[in-house]
Amino acid sequence: MERIDKILALHNFGSRKEVGALIRKGGVTVNGSPVKKGDEKIDPERDEIRVLGEPVLLRRHMVLMMNKPGGVLSASRDPKAETVVDLLPPELYRRGLFPAGRLDKDTEGLLILTDDGDLAHRMLAPKSHVYKLYQARLDKPATREDAALFAQGLRAGELECLPAELILGDDPCEVQVRVREGKFHQIKRMFHAVGKEVIYLKRLAIGNLKLDPALALGQTRLLTEEEITKIFE
Ligand code: URA
């Protein structure tokens, strides 16, 4: 049994306070009867919830996007350092969410957190070839030759890279890179192999799922079913 206000807040109907106001206005029913207080407990497996008359489809799993800030670890818990799970709001903190994939401590941008092991596995399996788009600032200008080397499939020390797209813009030190693998320090190692160092890195997209520009650093929001499918496009 779970609190109705908590369930609705988790399903993007607003903060607990906003959901509380909705409940007091009679906007929420469970099995046809109006809910009176936010702390009423319901059975998410059996009860039918409606908000303003519309049935609410409850999800078994949570999938969130975070705009990861620099300085936090992509891990669930760490005895010494702050992790992305430590940044979650209290109602999400204890749900067993973990990051599906890693960004380096100093990397910012799109990170998926979920409690769905199958989804994480599908996202991370090398054979899935899920695309990731990064924005990188370099210490030296990137060149067309670098782009050609990236496109061929670069050798970065021990690392044999799959062909990747290096997108040059007006400022040759500000580039985008699209890769379809996610080895340890992949982007930094690729640039290092062509004599450049990455001084700032941000993930902009995974598959067709773009980082929501409305999310401030450290914020999360739930993904819709449609957005989840975009990861694999
Ligand atoms: N490549 C890197 O070098 N670092 C990241 O965090 C992600 C990709």
- Write down the pLDDT at residue 188: 97
Give the binding-site residues of ligand 1, using a 6 Å CB cut-off. Answer: 103-104, 107, 185-188, 201
Which of 82-86, 210-214, 223-227 has the lowest average pLDDT? 223-227
pTM across the whole model: 0.83
How big, in percent rounded to 5, are the helix, strand and coil portions of the chain?
A: 25, 30, 45
Query: Ligand 1 centroid vs 170 CA: distance in angstroms?
Result: 23
> pLDDT band at residue 95, thresholds of 50, 70 and 90?
confident
Rg (CA), the chain: 21
115-155 confidence digits (pLDDT tens) = 999 999 999 998 888 999 999 999 999 999 999 999 999 99
SS3 22: helix
> Per residue in 95-132, is it b (16+ CB within 10 Å) or e — as a string?
bebbbbbbbbeebbbbbbbbbbeebbeebeeeeeebbb
Ligand 1, residues 67, 84, 104, 137: which to mutate, most atoms within 8 A of Cβ? 104
Residue 187 has pLDDT above 80, yes or no: yes
- Closest Cα to atom 2 of ligand 1: 185
Residue 10 confidence (pLDDT):
78
| pLDDT reported for residue 9 | 84
Q: Are 131 and 78 in contact (CB under 8 A)?
A: no
6 pLDDT tier (thresholds 50, 70, 90): confident
Report pLDDT for 230.
96
Average pLDDT over residues 19-37: 94
Mean pLDDT (whole number) for 207-223? 96
CB atoms within 10 A of CB 134: 22
Q: How far apart are CA 218 and CA 72, in angstroms?
A: 9
Q: What is the mean pLDDT of residues 106-123?
A: 96
Distance 93 CA to ligand 1 centre (A): 25
Of 57-61, 81-85, 113-117, give the lowest mean pLDDT range.
Answer: 57-61
